Amino acid sequence: MKQTPSPVMNSAISPDISSVVSPAKSSADIDAQTQVNFITYLQRLLVEGEFTATYKFALLHALADICIERPLHSDVNANLHDALDSVITIDELVVKFIELYWQHSLPYNGVADEAFVLLQNSGSQSALVQDLAAMRRQGIRTIGQLKQSQHWKSLLTKTRNTFKQGPLWRLQLLAGKEECFYYPHDKSQKHIVLNPGIAFCFRRFYDLVVSLARNHWTQKVSAFPANFAVLGGKGDLSQFLFGSDRNSIISARPLLTEIQQGKCFYCNKPLKNDGNNAAEVDHFIPWARYPNDLGHNFVLAHRSCNNAKRDHLAAQRHKERWYEQNIINNAAQITSELSQYFICDSSRSEAITAWAYQLALQGDSPLWVAGREFETIKVAVRLS
């Protein structure tokens, strides 16, 4: 397989940490009260909102995902950055919806004799999950295959219609009253416009929003009577609904082995077949920080290096090598060969990386170098 340089960049050096985190220095532009109000509204939404189905949790998750998957504007202050990211098209949300529900369309092998696709509402199965389950029965195994199939356009159209009829305008109903804190309700447009400060807060509190959305989503699925009979209080439902598909991840190993010439991404020593030197596919931006599988976010590492890195962000030198390997030199090849298994969008991976290091600078998080060695991110910024 020939390594084809990506046409999107012409530099072989990753932007240093300071260039991708500079908006953090202006975070005070989004006043503290707005951030407090954001947390308060999130708590109210989850307590006072009506959740007869799981669509609203998916919408909340989708809004947070989209806000961090967009490129940082390193040359503007936080207010302007927030304004630039405030417009979200309905189609962006619909695509994200389908991505989120794809895993949920798998049959659940609980205590029942037959596999059962868990219900997502208190009545019959949701139309979207029914459609996705039907496509799985036709032999579509991954979200990448689904997007390349003949069914994709019709699925988008059908999901868009359902989305606009319900979740988009019902998320912000608290105690039966519209309280449009996130975005105004304007049904005449093909997009929504987030209110001032909301995009920033979704980025700043992404971990909290997604954690709460997934926790409440899991509880709701568990509570539907038909699901409860299948689950029987057994199994890790959260892992089933939101976990990474380890079998699919293994499919990235051959390409990464070739790209890295059989060497560990982090220590550059030969990979072997077993023990601590066995090859494992690692999420460069850890799953714990961004729980989605992106093709350009994968690297191949020794089991020992992977275990040592755990959920930490890697040091600046590793970040530069990831950027050179997966974005500059091999973005097109990764997309070509892995898109049938994963979401492969190099710009999304770049944006997620910039966002993660921005938050690390705000929190003064240590960066993993090797073994038990760490460097402080502020030192990395000064040295960049």
Q: Over range 180-206, report the average pLDDT.
A: 94
Number of Cβ within a 10 Å radius of residue 154: 11
- Residues 237-259: tens digit of each pLDDT: 888 888 877 667 899 999 999 99
2-11 burial: b if 16+ Cβ within 10 Å, else e: eeeebeebee
Residue 312 has a pLDDT of 94
Residue 9 has a pLDDT of 37
Structure tokens belonging to residue 177: 């009253």
Distance (Å, whole) CA 318 – CA 14: 10
What value, to the nearest 5°, has the Cα angle with vertex 182 and ends 237 and 161?
70
- Residues 353-374: tens digit of each pLDDT: 999 998 888 888 899 999 999 9
pTM of structure:
0.81
Please name the amino acid found at residue 15. Answer: P
Question: Is 4 strand, coil or helix?
Answer: coil
Q: Indicate if the alpha-carbon torsion angle 200, 206, 212, 215 is positive or negative.
A: positive
CB 32 within 8 A of CB 354: no
Question: Is 285 strand, coil or helix?
Answer: coil
Please name the amino acid found at residue 347. Answer: S
- Between 78-82, 242-246, 262-266, 315-319, the lowest mean confidence (pLDDT) is in 78-82
Distance (Å, whole) CA 376 – CA 297: 23
**Can you list the positions of beta strands (E) in 56-167?**
87-89
- Between 11-20, 120-129, 264-273, 327-336, the lowest mean confidence (pLDDT) is in 11-20
Distance (Å, whole) CA 359 – CA 66: 16
Distance (Å, whole) CA 132 – CA 97: 12
Question: Is 64 strand, coil or helix?
Answer: helix
In 3D space, the residue among 365, 359, 287, 285 whose CA is nearest the CA of residue 23 turns out to be 359
Structure tokens belonging to residue 266: 């982090």
CB 71 within 8 A of CB 215: no
Task: Name the percent of the chain lying above pLDDT 90.
Answer: 63
Residue 124 has a pLDDT of 82
Residue 25 has a pLDDT of 37
Distance (Å, whole) CA 319 – CA 307: 18
Residue 1 above 50 pLDDT? no
In 3D space, the residue among 30, 33, 89 whose CA is nearest the CA of residue 63 turns out to be 89
Residue 234 has a pLDDT of 62
Distance (Å, whole) CA 127 – CA 292: 24
Distance (Å, whole) CA 284 – CA 306: 10
Ordered DSSP codes for 134-156: HHHHTT--SHHHHHHSTTHHHHH
- Residues 66-113: tens digit of each pLDDT: 999 987 766 556 566 666 779 999 999 999 999 999 999 998 875 444
Distance (Å, whole) CA 283 – CA 280: 10
Q: Indicate if the alpha-carbon torsion angle 284, 285, 288, 290 is positive or negative.
A: negative
